[in-house]
A and B are shown apart, each in its own frame.
Chain A
């Protein structure tokens, strides 16, 4: 089935953060703790699912020339709804994410998937695409925030019931929590993943030849 293919594309080969390097603002800004990173990732994934399905369902009605304004209004509507839901049910997350929750409305991933995928494909495929991309974004955010939280605060999953604290002797490096830490950690992780991918590629080419 396509499902596996869409998931693989969103999470690995076309990962929005690590490979396409889009939507970096929220990824850098709210990746201080895993709780925030996971919350942001899932909120974005949910908005993406909503907008992809809506755009795909309305693709016969939306005029091609005026599609971008239509997309923008659909996206802003979905974000308004998600923003209110999070404020009502998870107020802590709403406070932590601050303006980055409404800023999902200008997240490049959402508009890019609507324009390049949902507008040309059926509802089911668009939903699968949204789930793949959304999960890829969420996983990237969780990885980044896990590294920053572990080395910065010496904890993991702080704010949830699964909180793990490192022993007192574990060194806590403030830099990882400060803004520069976000840039540098993401840069190094991106390079490491790229290095691994190129090694794997060289290996498969060796086997093939």
Chain B
């Protein structure tokens, strides 16, 4: 039950993009087309679940016993970068179709603050292994949901007559703000 609540909270109520402001760069940068938004969302969800599991183990069984918690930022960044690289190589060999759908977005994920943000939240909240993975997966699916809705919105905006000064980023930000208001409606859910 608690895990379910944690999942919904990470995915919808505390949506990573719209209420925690994590992962804004890919959210705005890769949401021009629906297909690329779906690929990016899936790639982020996958890497998020994987890196939170690995980071939890490295933090608990390696950094804490050695009293090196203060190195957690460096450790997490290196873990995420390595994982992204490994996933990319694995996909290239095993599933070329998935690689061509997700491939170009994978390297971008290394500097996606949603990934390391989720890992840091897991650490700060003291989640156990299962909670960390559930929280990260929920966060990833929340990101997928937000970026897919947003890509749909932007495809509509493209065809509208937007004032010159608002074209591109400014109107996208205002649209994201309106979407964020909609997500505020979930605030009382939990």
B90 interfacial by beta-carbon distance below 8 Å: no
Q: Select the stretch in B128-136, B151-159, B173-181 that faces chain A.
A: B173-181
Q: Chain B residues near A122: list those with CB within 8 A.
A: none
A11 interfacial by beta-carbon distance below 8 Å: no
From B77, B165, B174, B181, contact of A192 by CB (8 A)? B165
Q: Chain A residues near B19: list those with CB within 8 A.
A: 179
Contact yes or no, B25 A99, CB < 8 A? no
Interface residues of B in 13-61 (CB under 8 A from A): 18-25, 28
Chain B contact surface mostly: helix
Contact yes or no, A179 B18, CB < 8 A? yes
- Within the assembled complex, what's the spacing in Å between the Cα atoms of A55 and B18? 34
Contact yes or no, B164 A111, CB < 8 A? no
User: Range of interface residues on chain B?
Assistant: 35 or more
Chain A contact surface mostly: helix
Contact yes or no, A198 B165, CB < 8 A? yes
A24 interfacial by beta-carbon distance below 8 Å: yes
Contact yes or no, B112 A106, CB < 8 A? yes
Decide yes or no: A180 and B180 within 8 Å by CB, A28-B24, A80-B73, A106-B111 being known contacts: yes
A130 interfacial by beta-carbon distance below 8 Å: no
Q: Select the stretch in B1-9, B114-122, B137-145 that faces chain A.
A: B114-122
Contact yes or no, B171 A187, CB < 8 A? yes
How far in angstroms is the closest Cβ of chain A from B75? 9
Decide yes or no: A106 and B28 within 8 Å by CB, A72-B81, A179-B19 being known contacts: no
Report, nearest first, the 3 A-B pairs whose CB atoms are least far apart.
Answer: A183-B177, A187-B173, A184-B177
Chain A residues near B (Cβ < 8 Å): 21-26, 28-29, 69, 72-73, 76-77, 79-80, 83-84, 99, 102-103, 105-108, 111, 175, 178-184, 186-188, 190-192, 194-195, 198
